[in-house]
A = this chain, B = another copy of it.
Amino acid sequence: MTNHIMKYDKGVNNKKNWIITESQFNSDLLGKCEAIFSLGNGYMGQRAATEERYVNETRNLFVAGTFNKFADNEVTELPNAADILWMDIKLNGHFFNLNLGTIHSYERTLDLKKAELTRRITWESPVGEKYDIRFRRFISLDDLHLIGQRVEIKAIDVDANIELTSGINAQTTNSGVQHFKEGEKRLFDKRFMQLVQTTKESHIDFVFNTTHLFKKDTQNIDADGLILMDRRKIYFNYHPIKLAKNETLVIEKLTNVFTSRDKDYQETEYSLGKLSEKSLAHMKTIYKEGYESLFDLHSKAWADKVWKSSPITIESENEFDQLAIRFAQYHMTVMTPAHDNRMNIGAKGLSGEGYKGHTFWDTELFLLPYFIYSNPKTARSLLEYRYNTLPGAHKKAQENGFEGAMFPWESAWLEDGEVTPVWGAADIITGKATKIWSGFIEQHITSDVAFATWQYYQVTKDEDFMEKYGYELLMDTAKFWASRLEWNEEKQQYHINNVIGPDEYKEHVNNNAFTNYTAYWNIKKAIEYYHLLKETKVELFQQLDKKINLEATYANWKNKVNLIYLPEPRQEDLVIPQDDTYLTKEMIDLTKYKNQENVGSLFKDYNLEQVNNIQVSKQADIMVLFYLLEDLFDQEVKRANWKYYEPKTLHDSSLSLSTHCVLACDMGDYEMAYDLFRRASEIDLGTNMKTSDHGIHAASLGGIWQCVVNGFGGVRMLNGQLRISPKLPKQWKELNFLIHWHGDILEVTATADVVTIVKNTNINQAINLSVYGKEITLTDTISVESMKI
């Protein structure tokens, strides 16, 4: 499925490395650009389906946090809301559709800087009439409820009658699953269409308003039409608009979306009537404003909130590298519901139905580092989400016979608890669906949340967060682990049996190294903070003691923590067993499955039961442990394990390559690291047209940032200490980025042989850090340290 449709080098001058281009249209390969060109603002996300429709398209609009469950044998998911993009355009009686007629020129571009999607086409209709057509679109970062579309149509060689059918279509589903009851449809002021839909089980009202404005060249014109209501649909059939040769018809379609789950309604009383009125008033305001003016506010918001506040520049001989990190930042902005601490990031962002909008460890391990270092406020909101889901985590612990907070492998709404689906793809041997065990036994998510909490705290020193949420999270997770440990009489150790570690090709294993080590770490941290709180924050200590029975829990920690089995490197080759049995399993030739074009191809030959018995890994496992707790293991052990596990790792998970890249940096293998970085960057970008069909790979985009800043940029928090030891690959001339540390902002510029660190702000008087093993202190604002490597 490789081809040369995608171009990454079309931006020039001030657009250089800001532009991603689809250079040809192919209706068999719509998924990639629908996903990677998706727009959003964290409140909502929309796949980049086209105005006109195609058979293999996927039209998705998701509003963050609006989960609904369709049936008792399914799990909750983000419902696919009404399609408001859709426009049927007839040009002299012929539907505009790129599978008909002839395409003379075609270019669709995502401008990352302005977060604008544009299509320019010269199209010849089936009767040989030529038209220049340009589509533009944005989802406002300035006004979270607003979607703007604009179409310009010029008839090149004929006069034309242009017919538009457009409105709101709520017949959309999640692959056939309808989450909504149909609500009222109304036309207001002969101009504003309104449609209500309400999720069936969670009873969330969605209100959509949409309207059209028409211009001939720059002159506003009135267009008359017939209002129509079908099932779950309200739309206008506009009467033909006459367009003279060389005139341009401009159609602006402005839409807003509000829901009863909007944060406002946590505080103010809700009624559908009020929501409908409010949304209509908002519609009237934006209608007066018009597309261009709304778009300006939007692009200014991107400049201010993203590009000026978190700039990263890479001077590379491969300019794509600069684009790749911007692409990652773009999507991390688009996918993140920074406005609402009841919501988190889905594993496919808001760009597709994949993973149902659920939050995984992807947030804590792969995405949160970006926000912790670049936008601590958002990082805090994402962690507050985990705090807010404690009811669900407690429920899951209880259901499983444990104590404390057992975070769900897949997480949705606050009280939901575990929402991992139970059945997956076909088992080629049994002919049945394969059972998904992650929701039952992939338990490391709990220590992942604990680790991220601590990491956030260490980087930000946000004591307010810790007092309100952080300490409790650390204690409650450790409480879970203490209850989870199993005593092994023979070994006189605590074991953690029957789990899945990060490597999901090994189910029902005992003592997954990553799980055991991070559980141990979690309890150790809890003990440390137990003492701290008891001594320095007595009131908080008492509150927590009351809430989670801290004293008794502490006793349990103390009794068990040093008896937890922590797998050690084998003497003969320093390999740490990934779990109790991995090293004893059969080895097979994995060559044909290691090809990145063949992600998941192992399952064409083996079922999961068989895969469980082969020394093959889906993704980084021990390597993630090395990354998180890097000072526990020395270089020799890391190398030995790399040598053993890397050849057995298929990188069938998009979470894998970036971890390996950072590890390769740690081991000083920058050539390998750069190669892994490039491969990670090409999971969503690159030439493969099928990999993003179900949505962008959220964690992988966080991983790209990790490659750049944690890997080549050498930024790491180690035991509360900042370390900045950049080492650039030979392709890079310079790397520049900002990081937040203890409330201050540091600017880091690295070249092949010099690193310069500038303290741009002065919240704290002094910042201590280690650079290439040397301890330095930055004191005043604009204090600069340049060091030779």
Seen from chain A, the residues whose Cβ lies within 8 Å of a Cβ on chain B are: 27-28, 53-55, 70-74, 95, 97, 99-100, 170-173, 175-178, 181-182, 184-188, 190, 200, 226-232, 234, 425-426, 428, 431-433, 604
- Tell whether, in the assembled complex, residue A173 and residue B178 are in contact, meaning their CB atoms are under 8 Å apart: yes
- What is the chain B residue whose CB lies nearest that of A56? B53
- Tell whether, in the assembled complex, residue B226 and residue A428 are in contact, meaning their CB atoms are under 8 Å apart: yes
Chain B residues contacting A55 (CB-CB under 8 Å) are 53-55, 97
- What is the chain B residue whose CB lies nearest that of A185? B433
The smallest C-beta distance from A605 to any residue of chain B, in angstroms, reads 10
The smallest C-beta distance from A601 to any residue of chain B, in angstroms, reads 10
* A173-B171, A173-B176, A228-B425 given; A188·B71 CB < 8 A: no
Chain B residues contacting A71 (CB-CB under 8 Å) are 181-182, 200
The answer for the CA separation of A624 and B232 in the assembled complex, in Å, is 35
- Tell whether, in the assembled complex, residue A73 and residue B182 are in contact, meaning their CB atoms are under 8 Å apart: yes
- Tell whether, in the assembled complex, residue A433 and residue B229 are in contact, meaning their CB atoms are under 8 Å apart: yes
* A28-B95, A54-B55, A99-B100 given; A227·B188 CB < 8 A: no
Identical copies of this chain, number:
2
Chain B residues contacting A99 (CB-CB under 8 Å) are 97, 99-100
Most chain B beta-carbon neighbours within 10 Å: one of A95, A228, A231: A231
The answer for the CA separation of A228 and B27 in the assembled complex, in Å, is 22
The smallest C-beta distance from A77 to any residue of chain B, in angstroms, reads 10
The answer for the CA separation of A27 and B73 in the assembled complex, in Å, is 38
Chain B residues contacting A188 (CB-CB under 8 Å) are 431
* A55-B54, A71-B200, A200-B71 given; A231·B178 CB < 8 A: no
Chain B residues contacting A173 (CB-CB under 8 Å) are 171, 173, 176, 178
Most chain B beta-carbon neighbours within 10 Å: one of A187, A227, A232, A426: A426
- Tell whether, in the assembled complex, residue A426 and residue B74 are in contact, meaning their CB atoms are under 8 Å apart: no
The smallest C-beta distance from A1 to any residue of chain B, in angstroms, reads 11
The answer for the CA separation of A412 and B21 in the assembled complex, in Å, is 53
Main secondary structure of the interface of A (DSSP, over half): loop
The answer for the CA separation of A738 and B422 in the assembled complex, in Å, is 60
The answer for the CA separation of A97 and B28 in the assembled complex, in Å, is 11
- Tell whether, in the assembled complex, residue A186 and residue B432 are in contact, meaning their CB atoms are under 8 Å apart: yes
Can you name 19 A-B residue pairings with CB atoms under 8 Å?
A28-B95, A53-B55, A55-B55, A55-B97, A71-B181, A71-B200, A171-B176, A173-B178, A175-B232, A176-B231, A177-B178, A177-B231, A177-B232, A184-B432, A226-B428, A227-B428, A229-B425, A229-B426, A234-B426
Chain B residues contacting A184 (CB-CB under 8 Å) are 432-433
- Tell whether, in the assembled complex, residue A187 and residue B431 are in contact, meaning their CB atoms are under 8 Å apart: yes
- Tell whether, in the assembled complex, residue A176 and residue B181 are in contact, meaning their CB atoms are under 8 Å apart: no
The answer for the CA separation of A73 and B203 in the assembled complex, in Å, is 14
The answer for the CA separation of A262 and B418 in the assembled complex, in Å, is 38
**Beyond known contacts A55-B55, A99-B99, A184-B432: 13 more, CB 8 A cutoff:** A27-B100, A53-B55, A55-B97, A71-B182, A171-B173, A171-B176, A175-B231, A175-B232, A187-B426, A188-B431, A226-B428, A227-B431, A229-B426
The smallest C-beta distance from A56 to any residue of chain B, in angstroms, reads 8
The smallest C-beta distance from A196 to any residue of chain B, in angstroms, reads 11
Chain B residues contacting A27 (CB-CB under 8 Å) are 100
- What is the chain B residue whose CB lies nearest that of A234? B426
- Tell whether, in the assembled complex, residue A74 and residue B227 are in contact, meaning their CB atoms are under 8 Å apart: no
The answer for the CA separation of A232 and B227 in the assembled complex, in Å, is 35
Chain B residues contacting A185 (CB-CB under 8 Å) are 426, 432-433
* A99-B100, A100-B99, A433-B185 given; A178·B70 CB < 8 A: yes
The smallest C-beta distance from A89 to any residue of chain B, in angstroms, reads 13
* A186-B432, A226-B428 given; A73·B181 CB < 8 A: yes
- Tell whether, in the assembled complex, residue B178 and residue A431 are in contact, meaning their CB atoms are under 8 Å apart: no
- What is the chain B residue whose CB lies nearest that of A187? B431
- Tell whether, in the assembled complex, residue B178 and residue A178 are in contact, meaning their CB atoms are under 8 Å apart: yes
- Tell whether, in the assembled complex, residue B431 and residue A228 are in contact, meaning their CB atoms are under 8 Å apart: no
The answer for the CA separation of A22 and B409 in the assembled complex, in Å, is 55
Chain B residues contacting A182 (CB-CB under 8 Å) are 71, 73-74
- Tell whether, in the assembled complex, residue B176 and residue A227 are in contact, meaning their CB atoms are under 8 Å apart: no
- Tell whether, in the assembled complex, residue B200 and residue A431 are in contact, meaning their CB atoms are under 8 Å apart: no
The smallest C-beta distance from A194 to any residue of chain B, in angstroms, reads 9
- What is the chain B residue whose CB lies nearest that of A237? B604
- Tell whether, in the assembled complex, residue B176 and residue A232 are in contact, meaning their CB atoms are under 8 Å apart: yes
Chain B residues contacting A186 (CB-CB under 8 Å) are 431-432
Chain B residues contacting A53 (CB-CB under 8 Å) are 55
The answer for the CA separation of A200 and B97 in the assembled complex, in Å, is 37
The answer for the CA separation of A28 and B70 in the assembled complex, in Å, is 33
The answer for the CA separation of A231 and B421 in the assembled complex, in Å, is 11
